[in-house]
Amino acid sequence: MNPNKTRKIPSFFHLVGAVWYRHYRVYQNHFFTNSFPTVIEPLILMLSFGWGLAMAVGSMDGVDYLSFIAPGQAMMAAVYTSAFEESYGTYFRMMVDHNYDAMLSTPINVTEVFWGELLYTGTKGAFFSLVVVLVLSCFGIIHSFWGLLVPVVGFFTAIAFGSLGLFAARLVKNINQFNFFITGVVSPLILFSGTFFSIDKMPPYAAVIAKVLPLYFFIDVSRMLTTGRFNSDLYIALPYILIVPMVMGHFAVKAMYKKMIQ
């Protein structure tokens, strides 16, 4: 329309932000429906465990059982929202709604699209883990104001699991194969990362494996925050939870590049 006008290309951060904003605006209508299970699920778990298992177990690692599993509930919310968003969600945006084609017709490239997505899924993870912490604090099982920092951990947890979701989206041939991802990858990670029992109860080699896999340290740090009992693990855990999600994100975005640009 105005052939001589040249428009400046927005910066990388602007474009990542624009993708984040797109997801926020488009999906906010579903926010309530999506957040409902995230809030309800830990409540149900608390009730069932509180009535049943917690009585039998008594305490774990020096805290009462419900306080022990509380931080894991917040992380589970971040894990599920991000793992689903970046596997099924990505698949739909890619194969059904063709949203990526629309975004990629602008100065946005694959890298900005998927970093914007991971940032969005991180935000969701932070928000949902905050909601869970607030809900659980009503049960008196969040013992420290440090617990308010759990959403920060939730943000990084969501980026890690969002990246796993992207790898799954990169690999699947059809949508049913995501079952392998959820049942074969996400669920075991939740069960064996110190969510419901201390990994000290596992054989030593298994405990080492559990520590390396991407959930243990997120729960470990969250637990320090909700109980207010910090230990020397923090020196390893803190760099781990900040760096590992970024590295995973980097490779996930690269994998998606190969899928998108053919």
The footprint of another protein (CB under 8 A) covers 1-3, 5-10, 14-15, 18-19, 21-22, 25-27, 29-30, 97-99, 101-109, 260-262
In the complex with another protein, which residue's Cβ is closer, 32 or 145?
Answer: 32
Nearer to another protein, 6 or 176 (CB): 6
Please report how close the Cβ of residue 106 comes to another protein at its closest, in angstroms: 4
Hey, CA dihedral for 21, 24, 25, 26, is it positive or negative? positive
Q: How far is the CB of 7 from another protein (least distance, A)?
A: 6
Distance of alpha carbon 150 from the chain centroid: 12
Q: Could you report how far apart the first and last alpha carbons of the chain are, in Å?
A: 31
Contacts of 44 (CB under 8 A, 6+ apart): none
Nearer Cβ to another protein, position 5 or 58?
5
Residue 70, both tokens: 């509380």
Identity of the residue, 6 or 232, whose beta carbon is nearer to another protein in the bound complex: 6
Compute how many other C-beta atoms are within 10 angstroms of the C-beta atom of residue 112.
Answer: 24
Token pair for 157: 């947890």
Query: How many CA atoms within 13 Å lie on the side-chain side of 97?
Result: 11
Query: Is the CB of 37 or the CB of 107 nearer to another protein?
Result: 107
Tell me how far, at minimum, the Cβ of 260 lies from another protein, in Å.
8
**Residue bearing tokens 């969501």:** 158
Backbone angles phi, psi at 226, to 5 degrees: -75, -30
**Between 81 and 195, whose beta carbon lies closer to another protein?**
81
DSSP 182: I
For the bound state, the minimum distance from the C-beta of residue 10 to another protein, rounded and expressed in Å, comes to: 3
CB of 110 to another protein, least distance (A): 10
- Give least dist CB 44 to another protein, A: 29
Tell me how far apart the alpha carbons of residues 185 and 82 are, in angstroms, rounded to a whole number. Answer: 13
